[in-house]
A and B are shown apart, each in its own frame.
Chain A
């Protein structure tokens, strides 16, 4: 009986063929996966809007502050933030892709001293909502000393929103 079993086992030989239809099928599947993966990866555009919101915020901070002080003219009625920050008026006002909001709050009285809004206000609503196509938001808070009144600290909140269709 034992001898019979060994005989059967010996008849089964391992398949050592190098070429088989399965090889082509496996290569085809691997190739297809790589082609689809690479195509998806390269077809997606780089989304730089988050980086741009930070750049815009830095420009705004530089335009209103100097050495930790809030510039005197910021609180004046005729202060033009776009001019000071060297931002293009046509793009900021009519483009519809940008929005920023600078809120200046007195630390003593906790009252809003000044609010500067620019751009498409509707974009602010998109902040916090999930979705890659929606606008990107960035908020920065800082404390500055009022240059006109050095005893007063001012809390500055800056919200920048960018929605570009070309990302």
Chain B
């Protein structure tokens, strides 16, 4: 191939590589930010608290928490050490480590019984 013709081709290839790297880096950044531990914990603690507050006595609620199961796998800890519903202090507590935790208060007085369905990756809330 002619050396003079090779120059613009390399230039175009480098240009395309730079654009691809740039777009990929942005995609990875946005994806990581959107799936951060804090965001997942915040989302589920609030969702569970709102469900409890809005529920009536005798209700049975199932909620998909597969993202929390993924979080447990990622940190190599059991799901029970991530999620806790504190009936005494009326709090939903989520933590991946002692320094990384999130809790949200609910105001309903109904005692909450909760179980985890590991197969379906769901939490089952029983409003007493």
Report which A residues bind B (CB closer than 8 A).
Answer: 17-19, 23-24, 27, 31, 34-35, 38-39, 42, 45-46, 48, 51-52, 55-56, 58-59, 82, 86-92, 95, 97-98, 164, 166
Report which B residues bind A (CB closer than 8 A).
Answer: 8, 11-12, 14-15, 18-19, 22, 25-26, 29-30, 33-34, 36, 39, 42-43, 46, 50, 53-54, 57, 90, 103-105, 107-110
User: Is A91 a contact partner of B46 (Cβ separation < 8 A)?
Assistant: no
A sample of 18 more A-B contacts (CB under 8 A), given A18-B11, A51-B50, is: A17-B11, A18-B12, A27-B18, A27-B19, A27-B22, A34-B29, A35-B26, A35-B29, A42-B34, A48-B50, A56-B107, A87-B109, A89-B109, A91-B105, A95-B105, A164-B105, A166-B103, A166-B104
Chain A residues with CB under 8 Å of B57's CB are 86
Contact of A42 among B14, B33, B110 (CB under 8 A): B33
Q: Complex: how many Å from CA A108 to CA B29?
A: 64
Q: Complex: how many Å from CA A23 to CA B22?
A: 12
Contact of A90 among B18, B29, B90, B103 (CB under 8 A): B90
Q: Complex: how many Å from CA A162 to CA B7?
A: 67
User: Is A82 a contact partner of B46 (Cβ separation < 8 A)?
Assistant: no
Tell me if A's interface is mostly helix, strand, loop or mixed: helix
With contact pairs A39-B33, A45-B42, A88-B90 given, residues A19 and B108 touching in the complex (Cβ less than 8 Å): no
User: Is A19 a contact partner of B42 (Cβ separation < 8 A)?
Assistant: no
User: Is A46 a contact partner of B11 (Cβ separation < 8 A)?
Assistant: no
Q: Complex: how many Å from CA A27 to CA B21?
A: 11
Contact of B109 among A48, A88, A164, A166 (CB under 8 A): A88
